[in-house]
Structure 1
Amino acid sequence: MAQTDSLRLPIAEGPFQPTLESRANYECPEWFRDAKFGIWSHWGPQAVPMNGDWYARGMYEPGNRHYAYHTNHYGHPSEFGYKNIIPLWKAEKWDPDRLMQLYKRAGAKYFVSMAVHHDNFFLWNTKLHRWNSVDMGPKRDVVGEWQKAARKYGLKFGVSEHLGASFTWFQSSHGADRTGPKAGVPYDGANSNYWDLYHYPAAPDDRGWYSKDPRWQQRWYDVISELVNTYHPDLLYTDGGVAFGQAHVVGLSMIAHFYNQDIARRAARSPLDSKGAELLLNGLPRSPGGPQVVYTCKQQSGGRWVQDIERGIQPVIDPHPWQTDTSIGDWYYNRNWQFRPVSWVIHMLVDNVSKNGNLLLNVVQRPDGSLDPEVEQMLEQLAEWNAIHEEAIFGSRPWLVYGESAMKVQGGAFKEDFQYSAREIRFTTKGGILYAIALGWPEDRKITIRSLAKPSGSDVNRIERVSLLGYDGRLDWEQTAEGLTVTLPEKKVSEFTAALKITGSALTNVPFTMPPVIVTPDARGRIQLSPDAAELAGNVRPERRGGQLSFGFWDNPQDSVSWTVRFPAAGRFRVRTACASVHGDIGFVVEFGRQTLSGVARRTQSWDNFAEVDLGVLVVREPGDVPVRVRPKDAGLWQAVNLRTITLIPE
């Protein structure tokens, strides 16, 4: 075992060392690139109050919603602390075998179990910590039982560790109320008898995500080593960047150990692996003996590990495999959250796969380990969709471009509330076949793929056959210099996508400019300027608030939204919308060509509460196409606003 000088950091013998340069020898295994979709159990004692994520910390923070809930339902945290929540977690309806069958049917190719969250409670049979799920709570080896079920049904198995941040994260348990009847009474975390759960007090200047304390860094390494050496997961997820810093020896040592122990274990099982491992040690890092495990964290890596993006996407194809981790609801069960619809899951999956990414989806469990009926229904819908579309997803690779999009997105963490439409097309490829997946079913049943145009005099994009996954009939299609236009059947194959299977030769992406959406009046003469039909400039994007679609994340005054409206005749229109703001009195302008209407977003207390805004009357003097743009009235006074569909009502 290799050893570092400053700390006790045993590393399995092998080619990887605790340096960034050594990580350059890593190549992501093909199983992960083929898998595309994983399901995550982000579950533990913090699910008990059914009040959402970060409960164990927030219950010690006056003013936090968790503190209010805790004091109202359990009592003051000086008397009833998180240690008292743990025994209430029984997991009495948890059936990992049944759930794994459901997850496999839904299309999951790998499964990730929570091993330890920031609450410092271990979900495995540990020898290092009394606060664990075998000795307390459900009295079961959660990690071990999940692993057994995953192996039984042929899924790769991973674990997530959130322990690195626990030391500073849990310091709130050492505090006390500053006001009120319990002012100055220490919370139970201040009791040294429980410091093995809540940690000893941190130094005053130790407040970052990762602690600077070498004692805690040593503890983290010992614990995660036990986890890896006991369960030998296929994937290890760290909640944060590389533990304690990208250049820190502790985090890099764990990655090296994780990679090396996998090489050694496979070498012991297989002569081929043994030869491969020897070649790797002799300087041929991309041999068959390379590690077949995945380490993933929230940090760009250049391929040294798999980058994870929490609740976000990539804007374009990443040359290195990556992963989104997200949830159908809150991270822990929250009675106040609505679950995501299956359409959102499917669109996120397709978008990620087109950009060389995977989707790791937290399927939120109740405290007892069961799933809500609507969650099970969503998984069954996903299974039905995968039964038709799996050939375009699993085992595929990105094409030359990820797709055709009218949306301008920057990508990054916590940017996932996009509303896709049939105009959005995503590409994947496998075995010489190109798949073009529209993220919706167009009302006119026509899909035009402009990338597959046939320029005059060109020998590229020789289309031979076009078919629709889930449909056995013949499709009508036409290829011109403007693109490949396909007419879909009258009966929808899916409510969520239309996946075309295209074969041909010399297929390439022909450059084009995405034409704007032309908004026209409905049967009543009304014109709806909706978020899902808008051209977006900046970080503003559609999100669902208060049960309806709106423009959200509009923090930057340089952002704007726009449409092109086709007026068939002159006329007058009353213009109305609705806004939500936690700030209030935020002015905005709607430009209709050279005409301008102004409105004010009043304070509504919540992003889910909207108030109607009457912008006045628009006079259209002649028919034609008119550009419409919404922007801040005064960039210097701008604060975030959510804006719903703008409606033009004929007078």
Structure 2
Amino acid sequence: MVSRRSLLGAPFWAAVGMNAAAQAHQDRAGQGSPAPTAADQLPIASGPFQPSVESLKTYQTPAWFRDAKFGIWAHWGPQAVPRSGDWYARFMYVPGHPHYAHHVKHYGHPSEFGYKDIIPLWKAEKFDPEALMDRYVAAGAKYFVSMGVHHDNFDLWNSRHHRWNALAMGPKRDIVGAWRDAARRRGLRFGVSEHLGASHNWFWPSHQYDQFWPKLGVDYDGADARYADLYHPKHDEPYKGHETWYTTSPAFHQIWFNRVRDLIDNYEPDLLYSDGGIPFGEVGRSLIAHYYNSNIAKQGRLEAVYNCKALGSGEFYPEACVQDVERGVMSGINPRPWQTDTSNGDWFFADDDKYKTAPDVIRMLADIVSKNGNMLLNVALYPDGSLPLESQTLLSDLAQWMGTNAEAIHGTRPWAVHGEGPTETASGAFNESAAYTAEDVRFTAKDGALYAIVMGWPRDGVLRIQTLAEESALAPGSIERVEALGSAESLSFERSRKGLEIRLPDGLAGQAAIALKLRGQGLA
């Protein structure tokens, strides 16, 4: 390892003694490329979309996404290996963080055993995408999203531009391709997520060193030029939060464009997710225009969905994409379709983790769908690709509930209001917790029917919905029939100026949420 002291006053490449072969590899990877300004550096498929804000704002969300409502995500890769949770590749280089302590204890000091050495340990030896996809379909998923590349700069596909990829090392398998084939065989829409944009600055700690003995001043392995295409070349642009989430390096902008375009062109996803705002200005807008245009050329019409966030750095135009809210929801009915992304546990598997249960997920899903949103749920996987018991239980419980109540979710649209009751989740990212009660009701509508999803069991077995009171301006029509999904029996109800009272059958008690179907003239 090279001491930090040897870098002072000397060019980085000279100090680490980068050989000609390594330099040539970096040049091929685009690390030394000039700023991408010419059209041949940002090639986009011909079509109606151009890399301008005005052009991208003409985007319209396809019907399949609006109908789907629920997708499952495999946020899974080498960072699952230590079984310690999210952002391991970064925090294993940060003394004082639990990931650093775990790494030193189990693998050794990061100057001697770095993240590059974790990657070969990810074998995915029990990964069975066909069996997993069967479970995801049964649980009600209408689309599936594979991790493409996380901030760890490791591509999970047969990457043309990056030697650090899953076909070349680790599982030595095209993970994205295997997920895609399994999803499409079952009629699911397929998506990929890219978190690469933030990687350049996010990985900055890998170039640092301990500030205490016995390794004081000894660089971590990220400073070794042989691995600069994984950890990125040495730079003085640390990640300090979402304000500096994206680098200003034009060379890396070109790398990002080349690799994500490779992912789009070779796997033709229906959905592309970026972990942040649109990256890198014109570069990112060019990539989106290419994605939309190439999708139109293949599908005959625009079927592509691009997710980005109004969070941190990067550009955000709600008309140009489908907004994603990480671990959070929106307040009220949003006029544009949107998406929550969340996980049943940590983003990567962690021992002793706390997991969401089926009632947690179902009630959150009902709230999201009532507000014109979708839920994209990561279901945690072990490093080997098998399901932890908590994930198995969740999928089984979701399958049971969806088998009866999916009609109130899939293919629906928001009603006049999203719901009623005392519980309202705060709007925005990282605000997903809510303790719903039997007084909380969420509404959806489809094919002339109104669905009321009740978040618990009333103590006396009588549901009272004030929004549907007689002479209500929101529901001026008549209510002719009320039934619980899964049963053809008509339920007893009474409508007055105080509200609609429905006597619920005892057999519905204990459900995570009770979905009722209401019909009548002018109701929906």
Q: Same fold (TM over 0.5)?
A: yes
1:47 corresponds to which letter in structure 2?
A
Shifted more, 313-322 versus 468-477: the winner is 468-477
| Greater RCO structure (CA 8 Å; 6+ sep) | 2
Q: Distance in 2 between matches of 1:35 and 1:341?
A: 21
- Per-residue CA deviation, residues 307-345 of structure 1 (Å, 9 max, x unaligned), is 000000011100100000000000000002121111011
* 1:135-150 pair list within 5 angstroms: 135-150=168-183
- Per-residue CA deviation, residues 96-136 of structure 1 (Å, 9 max, x unaligned), is 00000110011000000001000001100112111111110
CA separation of 1:31/1:457 partners in 2, compared to 1, >3 Å: closer, same or farther?
closer
2:270 corresponds to which letter in structure 1?
D
Q: Distance in 2 between matches of 1:236 and 1:172?
A: 28
CA separation of 1:459/1:424 partners in 2, compared to 1, >3 Å: closer, same or farther?
closer
Residue 402 of structure 2: aligned partner: 386
CA RMSD of aligned residues (A): 1.7
How far did residue 18 of structure 1 move?
0.7
1:293 corresponds to which letter in structure 2?
A
Q: Distance in 1 between matches of 2:124 and 2:472?
A: 65
CA separation of 1:457/1:384 partners in 2, compared to 1, >3 Å: closer, same or farther?
closer
CA separation of 1:449/1:131 partners in 2, compared to 1, >3 Å: closer, same or farther?
same
Q: Distance in 1 between matches of 2:365 and 2:333?
A: 14
Q: Distance in 1 between matches of 2:354 and 2:238?
A: 39
2:85 is the counterpart of 1:52: yes
Contact 1:470/1:493, CA 8 A, preserved across alignment: no
Q: Distance in 1 between matches of 2:41 and 2:474?
A: 65
Residue 368 of structure 1: aligned partner: 384
TM (norm. structure 1) is 0.72
Contact 2:425/2:433, CA 8 A, preserved across alignment: no
Shifted more, 452-461 versus 128-137: the winner is 452-461
- Per-residue CA deviation, residues 256-296 of structure 1 (Å, 9 max, x unaligned), is 00000011123xxxxxx3xxxxxxxxxxxxxxx3x101000
- Give the one of 201, 209, 213 matched to 1:180: 213
1:219 corresponds to which letter in structure 2?
I
2:252 is the counterpart of 1:219: no
Q: Distance in 2 between matches of 1:494 and 1:232?
A: 43
Residue 228 of structure 1: aligned partner: 264
How far did residue 204 of structure 1 move?
4.5
Residue 204 of structure 2: aligned partner: 171
- Give the one of 292, 296, 299 matched to 1:263: 296
Contact 2:424/2:434, CA 8 A, preserved across alignment: no
* 1:321-340 pair list within 5 angstroms: 321-340=337-356
CA separation of 1:36/1:494 partners in 2, compared to 1, >3 Å: closer, same or farther?
farther
Residue 193 of structure 1: aligned partner: 226
Shifted more, 298-307 versus 95-104: the winner is 298-307
Contact 2:326/2:429, CA 8 A, preserved across alignment: yes
TM (norm. structure 2) is 0.89
Residue 362 of structure 2: aligned partner: 346
- Structure 1 or 2, whichever has the larger Rg, is 1
- Per-residue CA deviation, residues 546-584 of structure 1 (Å, 9 max, x unaligned), is xxxxxxxxxxxxxxxxxxxxxxxxxxxxxxxxxxxxxxx
Q: Distance in 2 between matches of 1:260 and 1:494?
A: 49
How far did residue 301 of structure 1 move?
3.2
Residue 9 of structure 1: aligned partner: 42
Q: Distance in 2 between matches of 1:152 and 1:137?
A: 26
2:427 is the counterpart of 1:411: yes
2:63 is the counterpart of 1:34: no
Q: Distance in 2 between matches of 1:429 and 1:126?
A: 43
Contact 2:324/2:338, CA 8 A, preserved across alignment: yes
1:386 corresponds to which letter in structure 2?
M
CA separation of 1:222/1:422 partners in 2, compared to 1, >3 Å: closer, same or farther?
same
- Per-residue CA deviation, residues 472-497 of structure 1 (Å, 9 max, x unaligned), is 33321100001111010122265211
Residue 644 of structure 1: aligned partner: none
2:454 is the counterpart of 1:438: yes
Q: Distance in 1 between matches of 2:484 and 2:239?
A: 58
Q: Distance in 2 between matches of 1:24 and 1:48?
A: 41
How far did residue 408 of structure 1 move?
4.3
Q: Distance in 2 between matches of 1:500 and 1:149?
A: 34
Contact 2:133/2:183, CA 8 A, preserved across alignment: yes
Contact 1:475/1:487, CA 8 A, preserved across alignment: yes
Q: Secondary structure at the match of 2:83?
A: coil
Residue 157 of structure 1: aligned partner: 190
1:446 corresponds to which letter in structure 2?
V
Q: Distance in 1 between matches of 2:454 and 2:237?
A: 54
Q: Distance in 1 between matches of 2:380 and 2:226?
A: 33
2:309 corresponds to which letter in structure 1?
K
Residue 157 of structure 2: aligned partner: 124
Contact 1:435/1:502, CA 8 A, preserved across alignment: yes
How far did residue 431 of structure 1 move?
0.3
Residue 309 of structure 2: aligned partner: 298
CA separation of 1:459/1:298 partners in 2, compared to 1, >3 Å: closer, same or farther?
closer
Residue 495 of structure 2: aligned partner: 479
Q: Distance in 2 between matches of 1:459 and 1:166?
A: 51
Greater share of helix residues, 1 or 2? Answer: 2
- Per-residue CA deviation, residues 235-262 of structure 1 (Å, 9 max, x unaligned), is 0000011113xxx101111110000001
Q: Secondary structure at the match of 1:491?
A: helix
How far did residue 457 of structure 1 move?
12
* Structure 1 unaligned residues grouped into runs of 5+: 267-272, 274-288, 509-651
Shifted more, 53-62 versus 294-303: the winner is 294-303
* Structure 2 unaligned residues grouped into runs of 5+: 1-35, 311-315
2:460 is the counterpart of 1:424: no
How far did residue 405 of structure 1 move?
2.4
Contact 2:448/2:523, CA 8 A, preserved across alignment: no
Residue 463 of structure 1: aligned partner: 479
Q: Secondary structure at the match of 1:165?
A: helix
Q: Secondary structure at the match of 1:193?
A: helix
2:64 corresponds to which letter in structure 1?
W
How far did residue 206 of structure 1 move?
7.5
Residue 274 of structure 2: aligned partner: 238
How far did residue 185 of structure 1 move?
0.6
- Per-residue CA deviation, residues 217-241 of structure 1 (Å, 9 max, x unaligned), is 0110011011101101000000011
Q: Distance in 2 between matches of 1:146 and 1:459?
A: 44
How far did residue 10 of structure 1 move?
0.6
- Aligned residues: percent identity? 54
Q: Secondary structure at the match of 1:462?
A: coil
Q: Distance in 2 between matches of 1:493 and 1:108?
A: 25
Residue 518 of structure 1: aligned partner: none
1:382 corresponds to which letter in structure 2?
L
Residue 101 of structure 1: aligned partner: 134
Q: Secondary structure at the match of 1:484?
A: strand
Residue 585 of structure 1: aligned partner: none
* 1:419-568 pair list within 5 angstroms: 419-455=435-471, 460-492=476-508, 495-507=511-523
1:490 corresponds to which letter in structure 2?
D
Q: Distance in 2 between matches of 1:7 and 1:457?
A: 58
How far did residue 407 of structure 1 move?
2.4
Q: Distance in 1 between matches of 2:199 and 2:488?
A: 54
- Per-residue CA deviation, residues 84-105 of structure 1 (Å, 9 max, x unaligned), is 1001000000000000011001
1:324 corresponds to which letter in structure 2?
T
2:286 is the counterpart of 1:253: yes
